[in-house]
Amino acid sequence: MTTFADISDRLAALAIEVPSWAYGNSGTRFKVFGSPGTPRTVEEKIADAATVHRFTGLAPSVALHIPWDLVDDYAALGAYAEELGVRLGTINSNTFQDDDYKLGSLTNADPGVRRKAVQHNLQCIEVMNQTGSRDLKIWLADGTNYPGQGDIRDRQDWLAEGLAEIYASLGEDQRLVLEYKFFEPAFYHTDVPDWGTSYVQVSALGDRAKVCLDTGHHAPGTNIEFIVAQLLRLGKLGSFDFNSRFYGDDDLIVGAADPYQLFRILVEVIRGGGFGPDNDVALMLDQCHNIEAKVPGQIRSVLNVQEMTARALLLDTEALAAARRSGDVLAANEVFMDAFYTDVRADLAAWREERGLPADPMRAYLASGYQQEIESARVGGAQAGWS
């Protein structure tokens, strides 16, 4: 039987990248709500991200979104981040907000718009060169609303051409990760709607092109852990975007809708070699906090991932394998459920204290006065958000 002491050292390998945009204002299609203390600059976003890491020890890097996080001097921004105890991570391109992208970006019928989208991604690679970032993440809002609006096959060909040019510009230690989403904002068809399409596209590029799996980007009932297992088996799972969904959208705190699903996903991550000091699968949050406070929302999120990772590490794989070999269906399920139902909260609290972290990061943050400090200091200027 596996005990918490057995997994303590392995748990220390957990690192979860947080997104800069999680600290800005966000919302639904109907309203973006402002809140006191919202960052006005990328430096203030990084300060909030560093605060999450300071209280949890789980979030050592910050993903940037271009052009939301454009600055003149990325060397200075990287040095600023390091002073606060974090580093700059994944660079996310944005080809979904300019008016030119109304009918698509890399899959637009207009070659001029496709060229603009490629150039933007090449500019993101230049940012990566300055920040030392490994990954360029591409998510496309490209698709069509009506049958006949676009040529589905041509759009796949244009996508392949654009991705090939972008990939060819990567440095030897850099990767391209292609995200997928089964619908939204296009209602008839989406150009990268599923893991299979993303896999086909990145497989044509090379070894340093991978799939990004967003846990909120699937139809109801999708077996996400199967996709995780398959992509790890194929060596093509590059990164996660952790969040949660109830119905047709994503961006809620990870584990909010179905913590058992998060556990099942992490079991497959660990089983497939996607967790540990030598793995190359990036774990990241992709959440936009709308009605909850942003810093504690991120703290709660990384703690949820940590708790389910601990439970997944506690899975008695020997007993599980024995039950499977004997064909004992109920025994195998019982071993699985025993790990999921194990309450690790007290063990994690003691584990944190041993490492100089607060036993209860949420309570420690609320008592720290940081929220009141930023609400008082960040007055005036334009709050960061969807822009």
Tens of pLDDT along 183-206? 989 999 999 999 999 999 999 999
Indicate the pLDDT class of residue 343, thresholds 50, 70 and 90.
Answer: very high
Interval 113-139 mean pLDDT: 98
- Count CB-CB contacts under 10 A for residue 144: 20
Rounded percentage of the chain residues whose pLDDT exceeds 90: 89
Rounded to the nearest integer, the mean pLDDT of the chain is 96
Rounded percentage of the chain residues whose pLDDT exceeds 70: 99
Which residues have a Cβ under 8 Å from the Cβ of 20 and sit 6 or more positions away?
42, 45, 46, 49, 62, 63, 64, 65, 68, 69
Exposed/middle/buried for residue 41 (C-beta within 10 Å: 0-12, 13-18, 19+): middle
What are 239-275's pLDDT values in tens digits? 999 999 888 777 899 999 999 999 999 999 999 999 9
What does the alpha-carbon distance between residue 284 and residue 357 come to, in Å, rounded to a whole number?
21
Asked if the structure places residue 356 within a domain, the reply is: yes
Only one residue has tokens 């340093």, namely 208
**In terms of residue numbers, what domain contains 174?**
13-377
Number of domains in the chain: 1
pLDDT at 384: 81
CATH number, domain with residue 280: 3.20.20.150
Asked if the structure places residue 257 within a domain, the reply is: yes
Asked if the structure places residue 188 within a domain, the reply is: yes
Indicate the pLDDT class of residue 290, thresholds 50, 70 and 90.
Answer: confident
What does the alpha-carbon distance between residue 370 and residue 368 come to, in Å, rounded to a whole number?
5
Asked if the structure places residue 386 within a domain, the reply is: no
Peptide bond into 185 cis (omega under 30): yes
Asked if the structure places residue 7 within a domain, the reply is: no
Indicate the pLDDT class of residue 38, thresholds 50, 70 and 90.
Answer: very high
Is residue 61 within 8 Å of 88, Cβ to Cβ?
yes
Asked if the structure places residue 383 within a domain, the reply is: no
pLDDT at 387: 58
Residue 11 in this model has a pLDDT that exceeds 90 = yes
Burial profile 72-97: b = 16 or more Cβ within 10 angstroms, e = fewer:
eebeebbebbeebebbbbbbbbbbee
What are 43-77's pLDDT values in tens digits? 999 999 999 999 999 999 999 999 999 999 999 99
pLDDT at 250: 75
- Phi/psi for 103 (5° steps) reads -110, 20
Residue 165 in this model has a pLDDT that exceeds 80 = yes
Residue 136 in this model has a pLDDT that exceeds 90 = yes
Asked if the structure places residue 6 within a domain, the reply is: no
Contacts from 2-10 at CB under 8 Å and sequence distance 24+?
Answer: 2/313, 2/314, 2/315, 2/316, 3/314, 4/310, 4/314, 4/344, 4/347, 4/351, 7/310, 7/313, 7/314, 8/351, 10/275, 10/276, 10/313
What does the alpha-carbon distance between residue 300 and residue 282 come to, in Å, rounded to a whole number?
19
Asked if the structure places residue 2 within a domain, the reply is: no
